[in-house]
Structures are given as structure tokens and as C-alpha cells.
Amino acid sequence: DWSVGEILKTLERLGLANNTIVVLSSDNGPVVDDGYQDQAVEKLGNHKPAGPLRGGKYSAFEAGTRVPLLVRWPGQVKKGVSEAPISQVDFLADFAALLGQSYNRNDAPDTENQLNVLLGRDSVGRSVIVEHAGTLSIVQENWKYIDPSNGASYAKFTNTELGNAPKPQLYNLSTDLGEKQNVAEQYPDRVQQMKERLQKIRNKTP
């Protein structure tokens, strides 16, 4: 936090703030013990790095796939919190649009222009987001479908639920952000629709 503050203050001092877009994001998923001898586990206390989210790094659950994203551009970005879904893979299309540059779509078939989301002018964002961590999952309209997988369900080394399961998983993120209730059996039609959408995206070629 201190380092970011120093960067922002320097931009202000040099008169560059209004001409500089600052994007802060991160790698995916918290992990406390990833092999480093830093006493992170002992010093964790009651702190929950993933907050209300389930899983962690390497996990198909939201704690392993969601990332923080903050954007600052005085006079250009509207202040506030946005619920519009966006992916880091969209940055290529976003900044190409911002700078009036072109790129080869075959080199980046998954990127979508979500510049208006970054600028706070669009509250809709992506129609779907595909996530990968051991298995594939897809988020659409606050529903999340996780494809069946025979992978391990738990990583003992990092104390992480990995989200792999032999049966389909479906979660309503609007009412169950912690992905505690798998409702796949209650909504078989939605499971099938999202499974087919995921398969269509998986099979798509540039």
C-alpha cells in the first residue's frame, strides 16, 4: 500500500496524474504456505486472506480465480465499485482501443474490448468468463459451472480446496458467493446449457 501511495503521489507532484492511467491487479488466489519459510501460517491469526471466498491458489473455486482490480485516471474514470465482470486477458483489446492500435485477432482470440468497464462507463461487462485451475469453469449471469474432473479435491501441502470433483458443480454466486451449495442437481437445464457453452468456447479456433 505504501509503495502504491508513493507512486501516486509522485505522479501528482510531477503533474502527470491526469495523463496517466494506473491499473492495479495481481496474481490469482491467496496461499499462506507455498514452501516459503516465512512464518506466514504462525502469524496468520484470525485473518482470512480469501475473505468469504472458498478455496485459494490453484483452486477452481472463486478464491483461486478472482483477482483484485483497481483503476485510477483522474477526470476519466468514474469513482465507485463496479460489479461488471472483466478478465485480465481483455487488457490487450482495452488498451489497443484506448491507443487506437490494431492487433492480430489470431494472436489473442479470447480478448474482448472492455475499455468502458475500466473507465466506469459500462456496468455490464463480459457475458461469460472462462476460468482455469485444474479444470475449466465458466461464469455467466452470476452462475458458475465447474466441469467434472478426476483431479485431487484437496492440496494438503498448501491446505487448499482445489474444486475438482467427478460430478458437475453449479453455484449461484449472487446468493452463494462462498460456493457452499452445489445446486447442479436442482438445475439440470442450466448445467447442460453452461456445459455446452463452455465446450463451444473450448473448441473455438481463431
pLDDT at 182: 98
pLDDT at 206 over 80: no
Q: For 146-171, b where at least 16 C-beta lie within 10 A, e where not — what string?
A: bbebeeeeebeebebbbbbbeebbbb
Strand 154-155 versus strand 169-172 pairing type: unpaired
pLDDT on residue 79: 86
DSSP string of 10-55, one letter each residue:
HHHHTT-GGG--EEEE--SS--S-SS--S-HHHH-TT--TTTT---
137 by Cβ neighbours in 10 Å (0-12 / 13-18 / 19+) ranks as: buried
pLDDT at 78: 82
Query: Are 150 and 161 a contacting pair, CB within 8 Å?
Result: no
Predicted local confidence at residue 34, as pLDDT: 80
Instruction: Give 132-188 pLDDT, tens digit per residue.
Output: 998 999 999 999 999 999 999 999 888 899 999 999 999 999 999 999 999 999 999
| DSSP H helix total and E strand total for the chain | 6, 8
pLDDT in tens, 106-127: 889 999 999 999 999 999 999 9
Residue 32's pLDDT is what? 87
Position 11 scores a pLDDT of 97
Burial class (CB in 10 A: 0-12, 13-18, 19+), 21: middle
From 124, 133, 139, select the one nearest 151 (Cα to Cα).
133
C-alpha cell at 95: 488498451
Q: DSSP state, 106? A: G
Q: Quick one: pLDDT at residue 157?
A: 86
pLDDT digits (tens, 9 = 90+) for 13-68: 999 999 999 999 998 888 888 888 888 888 889 999 999 999 999 999 999 999 99
pLDDT in tens, 14-24: 999 999 999 99
